Structure 1
Amino acid sequence: MGFESYAQIGIGTTDPQETLHVAGTTATIRIEGLDMVNNPQNNGTGKLTPVYVDKKGNFTLTKPGYTAGNGYVLPLNFLVFTPNFIPNNPAGHPAPYDDYGTIINSDASTTTVTDLIHSVEIDVPTSSMVEVKYAMSLYFSETDLFNPPATEPSDGKTRVIQSYFLIDFNSDGLSGTELTTQYGFKGQYYASGPGGTKGYPYMNSQGYVNMTPGHHTLYFYGVVNDPPGTFTSIGFGGANEYLKIRLFN
């Protein structure tokens, strides 16, 4: 003959008021299946992860609306989500010239110049596909932004501006292959008319790459292309920009 028994369990109390009652003003609960070691959806050290309750009452880190199959992959988390990832004034100019961003020049003797804009370090907790989305403002000048004020181009000549990023896997120095593998490559052109133009045009792009767990570094580069005999000075990221790095498994 079988029977069922119902009881309330108290931790820190001899008078439990619920099926499980954890008493104490500083009481905590730990579920090791949801920690960063055992659950890849955990956001990791220094970040909080929302906990959801499914239709059966189970605790889960899986976001509502997730449907498995059909090629759908669940985003783990945003490793980086910042609206201003490029320093606004690395040249140290006084106001009002403190919003040029990282400056790259192509003088009259060059037609293509490539230089580093900024680098970002990330820690990937588990083998994942990583999505990197970024946007940055561009400040155009036909005089050197290192020596303000700027002079908006008015010569009618076309400039082509490009950006991309490299990945130093495990942050141990860029290898030959890593130096030649460009991600998120994007370009746009700018042609001025008489009188030039003021304001910030924007450029955005994204790239995807599979990464293993570890500490990695992303290097963002800018490329300035202009006609022979033309001086072009570009400030990358002096106004609004963003960087979003998201993991999928």
Structure 2
Amino acid sequence: MKKIILLLFPLWMNAQIGIGTANPLADLHVGGNTSTIRIESLNAVNSPMYNNGIKPAHAFVNDSGDVTINPSVLNGTGPGGIIAPINFLLTNNNFIPDGASNRGQILNNITSATSSAGLITTVDFSSAGTALIEVKYSISVLLSKTDLNISETAFNDVSARTYKIYFCIDINDDGLSAIELSKKYGLNAQSYASDDQGILGYAYTNGHGYSTIPAGNHSLHFFAETTDGANKHTSIGFGGMQDLLRVRIYN
């Protein structure tokens, strides 16, 4: 008499894999409070466009569930992207030259005029693609009733002065056009009023602005303007003590 042995196998199996743990609580559970996961295809050698090896790269998940650091609209398979990690293009703790007198870039508003304007400094930068940039600046300001190129003197004329700081963006770094010069970003203004016993000291002006730029080389042009009363002399040094510039890119 022949015997028939019937083997039954489940149609599916639901197993959880544990690494460093005997009790996995997910489909893949990596245990240990110092555990890490490495995907070598995403490192700085294999993906230098999105992982520069210095700053941590953000990871994205495409519609197939694949982990990628390419934020492309083509689900991580094409070049470029519109949701790339935020990066600082540059950070400069002394972007304004201190000048021969070590009082920064000096703007004089002479007694025969009531207003004056001038360029403080220019900063070059570049972008690998079309992007939104954020520019933040902090600039020290020193005011004097005598030319700061020679000496500094406190005000004692019971009068008020105002000054403005802003920057323009030279797209493609080919010289400011009339349109580029008319767009004043990060505009900030302050006033200074003196009594008959004025003192010398540094004030600080902070500002920031945003703009969309194309790929290529560009430059920031920082300007200052000052106004005072009739027959008054105002000398202002920008960046003589401390100044900070940060340019952040959202691409």
User: How far does the alpha carbon of each residue in 1:142-192 deviate from its partner, in whole angstroms, 9 at most, with x for none?
Assistant: 0011112x0011211100010111111001111111121111111010001
Contact 1:51/1:61 (<8 A) preserved:
no
Percent identity of equivalent pairs: 36
Question: Structure 1 stretches of 5 or more lacking a match?
Answer: 1-19, 23-27, 63-72
Q: Please state if 1:79 is matched with 2:89.
A: yes
Contact 2:57/2:85 (<8 A) preserved:
no
| 1: CA distance, partners of 2:236 / 2:86 | 36
| 2: CA distance, partners of 1:53 / 1:208 | 26
Deviation at 1:50, TM superposition (A): 2.0
The size of the alignment, in residue pairs, is 203
Contact 1:49/1:61 (<8 A) preserved:
no
Contact 2:119/2:224 (<8 A) preserved:
yes
What is aligned with 2:188?
186
One-letter amino acid of the structure 1 residue matched with residue 48 of structure 2: D
| 1: CA distance, partners of 2:68 / 2:57 | 7
Question: Structure 2 stretches of 5 or more lacking a match?
Answer: 1-37, 72-82
| 1: CA distance, partners of 2:157 / 2:44 | 67
Query: Structure 1 residues 29, 111: closer, same or farther in 2, change over 3 A?
Result: closer
What is aligned with 1:226?
228
Query: Structure 1 residues 216, 200: closer, same or farther in 2, change over 3 A?
Result: same
Query: Structure 1 residues 57, 226: closer, same or farther in 2, change over 3 A?
Result: same
Q: Please state if 1:239 is matched with 2:245.
A: no
Question: Normalising by the residue count of structure 1, what TM-score does the alignment of the two structures yield?
Answer: 0.72
One-letter amino acid of the structure 2 residue matched with residue 161 of structure 1: Y
User: How far does the alpha carbon of each residue in 1:33-87 deviate from its partner, in whole angstroms, 9 at most, with x for none?
Assistant: x323xx4xx56xxx8332467899957489xxxxxxxxxx765211111222111
Deviation at 1:125, TM superposition (A): 1.3
Q: Please state if 1:211 is matched with 2:226.
A: no
SS of residue paired to 1:186: strand
What is aligned with 1:130?
133
| 2: CA distance, partners of 1:190 / 1:126 | 42
Between structure 1 and structure 2, the one with the greater Rg is 2
Q: Please state if 1:30 is matched with 2:32.
A: no
Query: Structure 1 residues 206, 53: closer, same or farther in 2, change over 3 A?
Result: closer
